[in-house]
Amino acid sequence: MGYREIFYDRDTGKRDPVMQHCKTKSVPIVWDQSTYTKAGLGDKWEHQARFGYRHGISVAMHLPRGVHFTVGVDRDQSLPDCAAEITRMTADLQLSAVHLQDAALRVLVPASPEQDIPSLTSRELECLRWTMEGKTAWELGRILGIAENTVVRHTSNAAQKLGCVSKHQAVIKALRLELIR
């Protein structure tokens, strides 16, 4: 059986540990053969490895109504052993996923006239600007001299006002609306 048949087989997808992770968790997964053998699916890994899918990183964006937007990078070479490099690669994939999701939604969802541009506080905009620069809530708290929970609250409020489900999606929308630069 070719890879295409396996890829479109719903039963196989329901058992795939990477896809199951992406459906239930918001954090990316770095996977390799051990991910599949731990799930008792070493045969599935062996089959896909013949097509070059041996190692990878996958991330899912969770949208309203149980919809998931999943992006992954698969490769035949091992990922680097350096934890910092894996972190950088994962962060790059997450940011790319936000851009891909935004582009996909613009292509797939009919355009609707933009409603009134929401009014964000200066602190919410500041949090979005720093998020755009790749800062975590912890780092932002240190920079702004506020608690990490306060940063999360400002960022969440901005995302909610913009009708977004994540801080990264909120940054993209704020850029598109020219609320931040």
What is the predicted pLDDT for the residue at 146? 96
pLDDT digits (tens, 9 = 90+) for 141-162: 999 999 999 999 999 999 999 9
What is the predicted pLDDT for the residue at 104? 80
* Distance of alpha carbon 65 from alpha carbon 98, whole angstroms: 18
pLDDT band at 8 (very low <50, low <70, confident <90, very high): low
The CATH homologous superfamily of the domain defined by 3-79 = Transcription factor LuxR-like, autoinducer-binding domain (3.30.450.80)
pLDDT digits (tens, 9 = 90+) for 98-130: 888 888 877 777 666 666 789 999 999 999 999
Range(s) of the chain covered by CATH 1.10.10.10: 122-176
Give the lowest-confidence range in 17-21, 38-42, 63-67, 145-149.
63-67
Average pLDDT, the chain: 86
pLDDT band at 94 (very low <50, low <70, confident <90, very high): confident
What is the predicted pLDDT for the residue at 138? 93
Q: What's the CATH code, domain 122-176?
A: 1.10.10.10
What is the predicted pLDDT for the residue at 56? 94
Mean pLDDT throughout 47-61?
88
**Predicted TM-score (pTM) of this structure:** 0.66
